[in-house]
Amino acid sequence: MTHWLSILVNTPAHAQLGPVLTYQSEHALAPGTLVRVPLGKRETLGVVWNVAPSDATGELDSGKIRAIAGTLQGVAPLSSAWQQLVTFAANYYQRSVGEVALAALPPQLRELSPEQMQRRLARKPQAAKAQEASAHPAPALSPEQATVVAQIEAAAGPFLLFGSTGSGKTEVYLHCVQQVLAQDPQAQALVMVPEINLTPQLEERFKTRFAALYGEDAVVSLHSGMTNPQRLKSWLAAHSGVARIVLGTRMAVFASLPKLRLIVVDEEHDPSYKSGEGARYSARDLAVYRGRLDGAKVLLGSATPSLESWHQSRPADQGGRYVRLHMPSRIGAVANPVNRPGAVLGLPLVRRVDMNHQHRKAVFSIPLLDAIKERVLRGEQCMVFLNRRGYAPVLHCGECDWKSECPHCSAFRVFHKIDRTLRCHHCGFTERVPRACPKCGNPDITPLGRGTEQIEEHLAELLADIRRPHSVSAEFPEGEPPRVARIDADSTRLKGALESQLAAVHAGDVDVLVGTQMIAKGHDFRRITLVAAVNPDGALFSSDFRAPERLFSLLMQAAGRAGREASLGATSEVWIQTFQPAHPLYAALKQYDYPAFAEQQLLEREQAAMPPFSAQALVRAEARTQEAAQAFLNLASASAHTHMPQWEGWAEVLAQITLYPAVPMTIQRIANVERAQMLVESPSRQALQQFLSGWQSLLHATRAEPDCKGLIRWAIDVDPLAI
């Protein structure tokens, strides 16, 4: 007997085919079954989808319907909740369902034939048997932690855990996971972190706690830094239920977890949870939606929550949808109270240095340099934060005003002194540093600005006159000079480099750690007692309305690296070097008063009708010329104003939509591709979604206009984080 099946595939956008096509099969297959199907001249992975064949696109002539090539036996069908999640994500973020669904599956799963998959499953290792759980008992919870865990147990959520850095949020996550797994022998938990480099330390903590209870295979990771075979192995373990805990980055929100009962989103404010390509989804927002689909509790955690989540966690009688939980104290703070004026209990003292009173070209103020030397001489560690890698952002000629512009981008190439190169951080174009100015021949070309390489070099010079305690040796009879190390995207490029550098910091082999935001988030540096932000002012005057929120969050996270050891917390300090010491952002930071900062920011946004008090989408266009990119956007806008008012029932929707003119993006050219954008705004999220769905056909039609010749691609970004 022949069965007609609706199969979800990733059809090309230009093919004018829908994502669900009709195929025939000798056997009836359940929705969610993974199959191989012919598509054009190639064979691809498809998913049996829960729609009637009459609703699928493609040929319905029984004589022309092609047969599936095979079924991936041994892989259980994907759950209906997973299919609903994918469908919602595709509709909300204005992408094809097939694109989202197939991209959410492991790359190797999309490539293997049924025969290869059978061989792969045949050699799958058996789950390790559970052992006696006596090696690593859970530590006792503090009163604050116990209260929060009890609140999570008693309510349905979603929850926003607002906890100070060092307050023990990770232990709350561990305890909640342990409760969920103990209550149901099949239950699974998903724990997400914003960046790959935070995954290994989290995996170690979870395996230490749970491997003895549930076996070595019970904890797996999922992130893009893994090889394709590793990702497939972890995905299969989660899909089959062997893995009880999945740790991962934003891509893990689509992991197949049939018995999901708890979702944790650590550092929920982090912009890394928003995808920047393809389906530009927010993993944090999808986690909340997925929790509702799966009946799982959702716990969002941060010391500096996103303003959207903070607004959602206002009291329920004011419209809040999340339950706000608070842990204001650091672990051990009661035993080690801070007795300094103006200090917050258990948290480092924040000092603002007015750089207007320092030497004009000073990188480090004299008080900060003295403080760093004092810490090093005591055997403590310091961290210097500057969110700009390389030696200098620009090379400059004082004679003819030449600058190291990238020939392919509207940006400057960064000077990297270590390998003597000029490197574009956008397109990757790299050249050797010229011996003289390419324009006028002047040999005296100089760096402008500072990056982490220069800070590292400069600090080593400034600290050369002091010696590490207890470091006398035959090679250094007077003692070793302080060790300055740098951690950024350049120093950690090689595999295993980040792990080895972090190990050196934890072992005490580094006195001063210099780095970008890579070191400001999530790391548990127990010996650091001083954190310094060298030049944070740039974000105060950014054109992006979210810049102050990101700066406050980043500085709070960086400050949280200091004094995490209870015995050192009382003497730890955070130094902010600024030309704007009276700015309200730094005043709130000094008191660690996130609620006051959030209240002020939300008031400004409400007055300006900015998110979360409105909904936004960006339409971005890329073309060979800036004129073509902007022409496409402006023509699409004009088409909406011309055609959509004539559609029945659309007048009310259009009345709530504002289409702004097209403008170049901040960096308007990358790799010789011109980029422009158009902002779409509405006070109603529902109206915006309805408009974007209806506008899609007009956008496709506009692409064929003569003025748009040279258009390469366009994309819609719903709820953009950068404008």
Token pair 């959410």 in the structure block, residue: 104
Report whether 514 contacts 452 (CB < 8 A). Answer: yes
Let me know: does 506 contact 525? Beta carbons within 8 Å.
yes
Q: Inter-axis angle of helices 283-294 and 80-92, to 10 degrees?
A: 140
Could you tell me the two tokens for 398? 């004082």
Residue type at position 490: D
| CA–CA dist 572, 371 (Å, integer) | 11
Please check if 400 is assigned to a binding site. Answer: yes
Are the C-beta atoms of 250 and 190 separated by less than 8 Å? no
219-222 β-sheet, strand order = 219-222, 245-248, 188-192, 260-266, 297-302, 159-163, 323-327
335, 351, 248, 266: which is closest to 303 by C-alpha? 266
Q: What is the dihedral of CA 367, 372, 376, 377, to 10 degrees?
A: 0
Angle at 45 between CA 227 and CA 71, to 5 degrees: 110
**Residue 245 · residue 220 · CB < 8 Å:** yes
Task: Identify the burial level of 439 via C-beta atoms within 10 angstroms of its C-beta, where 0-12 means exposed, 13-18 middle and 19 or more buried.
Answer: middle
406 is in an annotated binding site: yes
d(CA 627, CA 608) in angstroms, rounded, equals 30
Half-sphere exposure of 545 (CA within 13 A, CB side): 15
- Cis-peptide, bond into residue 158, ω within 30° of zero: yes
Rounded Cα distance between 717 and 429, Å, is 27
Minimal CA–CA distance to 103: which of 177, 53, 44, 51? 44
Rounded to whole angstroms, the Cα distance separating 507 from 530 reads 17
Q: Is 382 annotated as a binding residue?
A: no
Cβ-in-10-Å burial (0-12, 13-18, 19+) of 49 comes to: buried
Q: DSSP states of 287-331 as a string?
A: HHHHHHHHT-EEEEEESS--HHHHHHTS-GGGT--SEEEEE-SPT
- 397 annotated binding-site participant: yes
Dist CA 541 CA 316 (whole Å): 35
Among left, alpha and beta (phi > 0; psi -120 to 50; other), residue 494 is: beta
User: Is residue 437 a known part of a binding site?
Assistant: yes
Q: Are strands 663-670 and 673-682 parallel, antiparallel or unpaired?
A: antiparallel
Cα 81 from chain centroid (whole Å) = 24
Structure tokens at 255: 């992991």
On the question of a cis peptide bond just before residue 19, with omega within 30 degrees of 0, the verdict is no
Both structure tokens of 129: 């048997």
- Read off φ and ψ for residue 712, nearest 5 degrees: -95, -50
> Was 427 annotated as part of a binding site?
yes
Beta bridge partners of 546: none
Binding residues: 397, 400, 406, 409, 424, 427, 437, 440
Binding residues for Zn(2+): 397, 400, 406, 409, 424, 427, 437, 440
